[in-house]
């Protein structure tokens, strides 16, 4: 049983304990989580997937990510913004995604909002909420990793103010972790600082 500190992975290198439950997690942890993500469509995808994850395990979303990408036109904002009621019904019948009407509606509605923004606006808004690294302690155990921060609360508020749905402070912080705005890899984790 882990005390929340980094544990040896399949190759012997220490990793965040959450990353060791499946091979899918090891790859995601080592190659994606905490690495900087830029670009409006790429960030829109992460925002949508974090919303779909709400109330579920991330592995559920990770294993269906390709299904989500196929169902939502690669998360190209302009394409999803053009989805019709027939597209929404198609999505509700798609076994490759999480068939939650409220989350599907929010995904389409958010694309319609973002389609009105100038290129780079979503990227700029999200990345304007990067916390000052000097104010953050390097987490030694999972207990040191917050679920919500002042920055994630501010980001959620800013997104909601612009009409973005299904994003709260916890979802916003998960987005910040996943997209490299913060580095929450544990102090002794092999991936710590890899995004720099």
> Alpha carbon 31 to chain centroid distance?
14
Half-sphere exposure of 70 (CA within 13 A, CB side): 10
Is 85 in a helix, a strand, or coil? Answer: helix
Closest CA to 33 of 59, 1, 54: 59
Q: Determine whether 28 is an active site residue.
A: yes
- Single out the catalytic residue among 58, 105, 117, 187: 58
Cβ atoms < 10 Å from Cβ of 22: 12
Backbone dihedral angles phi then psi of residue 132, each to the nearest 5 degrees: -65, 120
CB 129 within 8 A of CB 175: no
Per-residue H/E/C for 180-194: CCCCCCCCCCCCCCC
Please, are residues 186 and 6 in contact by the beta-carbon 8 Å criterion?
Answer: yes
Query: Which of 50, 127, 151, 173 does the annotation list as catalytic?
Result: 50
Whether 58 is a known active-site residue: answer: yes
Q: Which two tokens stand for residue 182?
A: 């913060």
Residue 7's H or E segment, with its range, is: strand 7-8
Q: Which of 28, 32, 105, 187 is catalytic?
A: 28
Q: Which residues are marked as active site? A: 28, 50, 58
């Amino acid at each position: 049983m882990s005390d929340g500190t980094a544990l040896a992975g399949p190759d012997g290198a220490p990793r965040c304990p959450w990353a060791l439950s499946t091979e899918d997690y090891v790859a995601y942890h080592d190659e994606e989580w905490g690495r900087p993500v830029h670009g409006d469509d790429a960030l829109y995808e992460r925002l949508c997937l974090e919303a779909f994850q709400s109330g579920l395990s991330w592995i559920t979303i990770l294993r269906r990510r390709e299904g989500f990408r196929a169902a939502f036109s690669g998360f190209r904002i302009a394409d999803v913004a053009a989805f019709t009621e027939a597209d929404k019904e198609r999505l509700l019948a798609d076994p490759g995604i999480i068939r939650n009407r409220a989350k599907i509606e929010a995904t389409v509605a958010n694309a319609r909002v973002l389609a009105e923004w100038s290129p780079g606006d979503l990227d700029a808004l999200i990345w304007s909420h990067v916390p000052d690294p000097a104010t953050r302690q390097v987490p030694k155990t999972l207990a040191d990793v917050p679920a919500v921060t002042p920055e994630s609360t501010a980001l959620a508020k800013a997104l909601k103010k612009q009409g973005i749905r299904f994003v709260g402070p916890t979802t916003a912080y998960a987005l910040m972790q996943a997209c490299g705005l913060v580095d929450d890899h544990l102090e002794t984790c092999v991936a710590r600082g890899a995004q720099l």
